[in-house]
Amino acid sequence: MGSIRTVIVDDSAFVRKVVREMLSHSPQIDVVGMARNGQDALQMVEQLKPNVVTCDLLMPELDGVDFVRRQMTLKPVPIVILTSASQDACRVLEALEAGAVDFIQKPTALANDDLLAMREELIEKVKAAASAPMPALALVPSPMAPAPPSRPAAHMDIVVLGISTGGPQALRYLVPQFPADFPVPLVIVLHMPMGYTAPFAEKLSEISRLPIEEASHGCLVQAGKGLLAPAGRHLSFKRNGNGQVQVQLSLQPANKPHRPSVDVLFQSAAETYRERVLGVVMTGMGDDGRQGAAQIKAQGGTILTQTEESCVIYGMPRSVVEAGLSDAAVPLDSMAREISKRL
């Protein structure tokens, strides 16, 4: 790909200017237009045919969510949502449901360090969005899609799943396909900022037969229940005096680029459940999950990775495949069946 043609949409002239300056630090990104609201943006996208759009969430005339919905029906284009920390997490999740590829939080204070961190993240997300297949995960299962039949005896004791960019969309497709009597616990790490994991778990539970909740410290890990690691805490496991497995939430280790970390989840699953672990690595940037996958494999467990064609970003699965740790690469539309088969 040549330069990444980008359109910036925001009702604040100041924010448009700041975002343009940020993106100008990458020689690969070319800002070709700036729009004040979703209505203007629809026309601009049609005229300028950008590779990526960055879009504010709250705008007059046509807000971010409605812009994403309208744009996806006209001509799907990768959209990265910009949101303020104070804004409604549910609206951000709606934008992702509507087809946005990713989102980024604007810093609360316009301190130089915060802006610098956001600049790096924004450039990375725009570059990643540019290579996302469009429409990103257009697969929409019929509500409560028929689940693969569950088996009474499980060969595995737990399914642990790591996912990042494109994760909310993929999980909304995958999890509703599992039955209510899913024979083992399902524990998920999804990279998300603080304040998003609880509402996302709630939304996921609403459309699924398998109950999903945000994990809390000390809660039991049980078959037929899904747990989502809360943003800002690593999730690991500990057996109590009765032999039951409980969730441990911690700020340690501090040296991981993500908290929660897929590596921490996978490593703890391998230590706790030995060879009876099914690890699943799905769409996302970076290589979180590779070290953990190696530890699951070392104990004799199994690793599935999502195929490149069905990922929004192939980074995390690619790192596992290239390390020779994947037992099978599975497309998103077959993942529920493959997981159930291996239990």
The CA distance from 207 to 178, in Å, is 11
Using CB atoms within 10 A of its CB, is residue 325 exposed (0-12), middle (13-18) or buried (19+)?
buried
CA 24 to chain centre: 27
Residue 288 designated active-site: yes
- Which residues have C-beta within 8 Å of that of residue 157, sequence separation ≥ 6? 184, 273, 276, 277
| Residue 221 and residue 237 in contact, taking contact as beta carbons nearer than 8 Å | yes
One of 164, 208, 268, 340 is an active-site residue; which one? 164
DSSP E strands: which ranges in 204-286? Answer: 212-214, 226-228, 234-239, 245-250, 277-281
Two tokens, residue 28? 């690969």
The CA distance from 280 to 335, in Å, is 9
- Which residues have C-beta within 8 Å of that of residue 255, sequence separation ≥ 6? none
- From 158, 66, 131, 65, select the one nearest 103 (Cα to Cα): 65
| Residue 92 and residue 103 in contact, taking contact as beta carbons nearer than 8 Å | yes
| Residues paired with 246 in a beta bridge | 220, 238
Buried b (16+ CB within 10 A) or exposed e, 196-232: bbebbbebbbeebbbebebbeeeeebeebbbbbbbbe
One of 157, 288, 310, 326 is an active-site residue; which one? 288
The CA distance from 144 to 132, in Å, is 27
| Residue 6 and residue 25 in contact, taking contact as beta carbons nearer than 8 Å | no
Q: Where do we find the tokens 């309208």?
A: 70
One of 63, 191, 234, 236 is an active-site residue; which one? 191
Q: Specify the DSSP class assigned to residue 220.
A: B
Which residues are designated catalytic?
164, 191, 288
